[in-house]
Chain A
Amino acid sequence: MLAMNYRGPFRVRAAQKPYPEILHPGDAIVRVTRSCICGSDLHLYHGLVPDTRVGMTFGHEFIGVVEEIGSSVQNLSVGDNVIVPFNVACGKCAFCKQGLFGNCHESNPEATAVGGIFGYSHTAGGYDGGQAEFVRVPYADVGPTIIPDWMDHDDAVLLTDVVPTGYQAAEMGGIKKGDTVVVFGAGPVGIMAAKSAWLFGAGRVIVIDHLEYRLDFVKKYAQCEAYNFRSMEDPVLFIKKTTDWFGADVCIDAVGGDAAGSALQTITGRKLMIQAGSATALHWAINSVKKGGIVSIVGVYGPTDNLVPIGNVVNKGITIRANQASVKRLLPKLIDHIQAGRLNPKEIITHRVPLEEVSDAYHIFSAKLDNCIKPILIPPSARQ
C-alpha cells in the first residue's frame, strides 16, 4: 500500500509499505479516505521530536472505512465509516476511566509523559499513522466513532483533532461570561479555539499571528479581532493597553514549539535545539494574562525543557492548564455543535492533495505557501 514515509528533517515521500496487520484482538484495520497534515506533524517534520525514526508513517488525523476487525471488537463492523481520534486510548486505565483519553497509560511503552498518538514518533508509541491507504487502529472499541449519515466527511476528518483541540483550549481557559480571551496562533487550532471561545461566553476574542492571510481568515471566520505581532513593538504591551492596562482574562497558546517572534527563542529552541522548541507564544501568554488569570496551553513542546518566565506565573498567581485534547470525551458535544451549525470546520480546508504528492503538501504547509491553512491528503484508493 502507499504511505507517507519520513526520511529525515524536511524530507518525506510517498512509498510502498506492507499492508498493516491485526496485532491485538481489539485492533481494527481502517482504509483511509482522508487524512490531514497538522501543525503537530510539523514539529516531527522539522526534526524537533526525539525518537522520530526514518521509515515511519505520520498521520494522526484520519477517517476511513473499517476493513477488518480483531476477534474482540464489538462496537464496529466491517464497512463502518469512522472518525478515529488522534489519541490511542484503552478505555480501562485510571486515566481513560476519568475521561483523560489523551493520557492513557496502556498505549505508549516508550514514554509515561505522553499517551499513544497515531503516527507521532516512538516517543508517542511508535504507531504508523494514517497518511496512508490503510492503518492499524488499536482499541477499536474505544476511540473510533461512526460518522453520522448527515455529516460531511470534510467536517468529520477535522473532528479527529483540530476541532476538539481548539475547543478544549477554550474549555481549559475556564472562560467566564464577558472574558477577554487572547489566542496566540491563527493556525487551524487557534482558529478553532477562537471560534469556541464564544461558545463559552467570551466577551471579546483577540487572535495574534504574523501571517496576514490567516489573520484575514480568522477575523471573518471566527468573528473576532485579529492582529499581526510584526506590526507591534511588543505584543504584551499591546494586550495590556487594549485591556485597559489590566491584562487578558484568559490567554491560549495555540502555537507551540515552532513559534516565531523572538530571535533568542528561535535560535535556542528551533536551530540549536537546546530547549524543546521556542516558547515565544507561551512567554507572551504568561506575561499578557491578568493577575490570577488562566493560561491554557495546547501548543506542543518537546519533552526536555523550555525557557518560560515561571517567576511571573508565581508572582501573578496564574493558573496554567494544558493537555493533549481528549477527543473521545468531546466528540458527542462537538457533533451536536456541527449539526446545529454552531461550528463549520470544513471551511478551513484550503488544500486537497493526492497522497502521492505528500512531499509538496508538507512543504507548502510548513513554509505557509499558497495561503495554506489546512491541507488534506487523499489516498489513491479513495479517489476512484
Chain B
Amino acid sequence: MEPTASDYPHINGWGIDADPNNEPTYPLKNYTGDDHQRLNWERPPQQVQTVEILHSNERPNLTAVFGTSSPPSGLSGAIRRFAFRFSESEYGHWLPLLLADRVNVVEGIVDDLAHGHIPNIFAEKGWKADWKHNRAGLVQNVVIGVAATALVYAFFTRNKQQTAFTRLKKTISN
C-alpha cells in the first residue's frame, strides 16, 4: 500500500512534491518544440569583444555574452590557442588545456616576482589553518618533507666515487 503523510508525521512537507508523472522519460524541461528551430532564436545583443576570447569550434560564433577574465597570454596562451583547434570531443582539446594550466602556474610566479611580489606559497595554501586545526598533520607533513629531502641528499652525497646513477641501479636490483 502506498504510504501517506500520516506515516511520516516527523517530516514537515512529506510527499508534497510527489508527482506520479515524473517517469524517467518525463523531461525536466517544458517541451515547446523550440529545439527544431535550431539556433534561430531571437539573439540577445552581442557583447563587444575587447579581449581575446577562444571559442569552441562546435559553435559558429561567440555567445552573446562571455567572461573577460584572464585572456590567454604567454606560452600557456599559445597552448590554449592550439587546443581550441580541436573539438570538445577530442583529447587534443582537453589535455593541452591541462598542460597550459600547469605552465600558467609558473607564469603566475614569474609575473608575481616581476611585480616585486614574492608569493607566500604557505599562506596561499592555507597552512595557517592547519596550524590551528590540524597541527599533528602539519607537523607530520613537515617531518616527512624534511626526512625525504635529507634522504635524497644523503643518497647523492654518501659516496663520491660512485655516481648516483650506478647507485640507483644497485638499489633497484637489490
Query: Which residues in A have some Cβ–Cβ distance to B below 8 Å?
Result: 7-13, 23-27, 47, 50-57, 72, 88, 90, 92-95, 97-100, 105-113, 116, 122-123, 125-128, 138-139, 168, 171-172, 174-178, 198-201, 203, 223, 273, 294, 302-304, 319, 321, 323, 326, 333, 337, 340-342, 359-364, 367, 369-370
One of A92, A113, A198, A360 near B44 (C-beta < 8 A): A92
Q: Is the CB of B104 within 8 A of A54?
A: yes
Interface residues on B, range: 35 or more
B170 adjacent to chain A (CB < 8 Å): no
Q: Is the CB of B125 within 8 A of A125?
A: no
Cβ-closest 3 pairs across A and B: A363-B126, A127-B67, A126-B67
Which residues of chain A are within 8 angstroms of B35 by Cβ–Cβ distance?
94, 98
Q: Is the CB of B125 within 8 A of A359?
A: yes
B11 adjacent to chain A (CB < 8 Å): yes
Q: Is the CB of A56 within 8 A of B30?
A: no
Which residues of chain A are within 8 angstroms of B43 by Cβ–Cβ distance?
92, 106
Query: Which residues in B have some Cβ–Cβ distance to A below 8 Å?
Result: 2-4, 8, 10-20, 22-26, 28-32, 34-35, 37-39, 41-45, 47-48, 50, 53-56, 58-59, 62-70, 72, 76, 80, 83, 88, 91, 94, 97-98, 100-102, 104-105, 107-109, 119-121, 123-130, 132-134, 137
Closest CB-CB distance, B94 to chain A, in whole Å?
A: 5
Complexed CA–CA distance, A342 and B123 (Å): 41
Q: Is the CB of B18 within 8 A of A200?
A: yes
One of A9, A26, A51, A199 near B80 (C-beta < 8 A): A51
Which residues of chain A are within 8 angstroms of B41 by Cβ–Cβ distance?
92-94, 97
> With contacts A7-B108, A94-B41, A126-B67 known, is A171 near B22, CB below 8 A?
yes
Which residues of chain A are within 8 angstroms of B38 by Cβ–Cβ distance?
94
12 A-B residue pairs with Cβ-Cβ distance under 8 Å, sorted by A, are A11-B119, A47-B102, A50-B101, A51-B80, A98-B34, A171-B17, A273-B98, A304-B91, A323-B28, A364-B126, A364-B133, A370-B129
Which residues of chain B are within 8 angstroms of A361 by Cβ–Cβ distance?
126, 129
One of B32, B54, B102, B130 near A98 (C-beta < 8 A): B32
Complexed CA–CA distance, A171 and B16 (Å): 12
Complexed CA–CA distance, A319 and B28 (Å): 14
Which residues of chain B are within 8 angstroms of A108 by Cβ–Cβ distance?
63, 66
One of B2, B19, B54 near A122 (C-beta < 8 A): B54
Closest-by-CB residue of B relative to A198 is B11
> With contacts A303-B94, A359-B123 known, is A99 near B29, CB below 8 A?
yes
Which residues of chain B are within 8 angstroms of A362 by Cβ–Cβ distance?
126
Q: Is the CB of B64 within 8 A of A321?
A: no
Closest-by-CB residue of A relative to B42 is A92
Which residues of chain A are within 8 angstroms of B20 by Cβ–Cβ distance?
176
Q: 5 additional contacts, CB 8 Å, given A108-B63, A112-B59?
A: A7-B109, A11-B119, A53-B72, A112-B88, A200-B17
Which residues of chain B are within 8 angstroms of A95 by Cβ–Cβ distance?
29
Which residues of chain B are within 8 angstroms of A363 by Cβ–Cβ distance?
125-127, 129-130
Q: Is the CB of B63 within 8 A of A54?
A: no
Closest CB-CB distance, A98 to chain B, in whole Å?
A: 4
Which residues of chain A are within 8 angstroms of B10 by Cβ–Cβ distance?
223
Closest CB-CB distance, B3 to chain A, in whole Å?
A: 5
Q: Is the CB of B126 within 8 A of A105?
A: no
Complexed CA–CA distance, A359 and B69 (Å): 20
Q: Is the CB of B24 within 8 A of A319?
A: yes
Closest-by-CB residue of A relative to B127 is A363
One of B19, B48, B134 near A369 (C-beta < 8 A): B134
Which residues of chain A are within 8 angstroms of B23 by Cβ–Cβ distance?
174
Which residues of chain B are within 8 angstroms of A98 by Cβ–Cβ distance?
29-32, 34-35
Q: Is the CB of B56 within 8 A of A128?
A: no
Which residues of chain A are within 8 angstroms of B47 by Cβ–Cβ distance?
23-24, 138
Closest CB-CB distance, A145 to chain B, in whole Å?
A: 19
Q: Is the CB of A138 within 8 A of B65?
A: yes
Which residues of chain B are within 8 angstroms of A116 by Cβ–Cβ distance?
63, 65-67
Which residues of chain A are within 8 angstroms of B127 by Cβ–Cβ distance?
363
Complexed CA–CA distance, A171 and B28 (Å): 9
> With contacts A122-B54, A370-B133 known, is A107 near B63, CB below 8 A?
yes
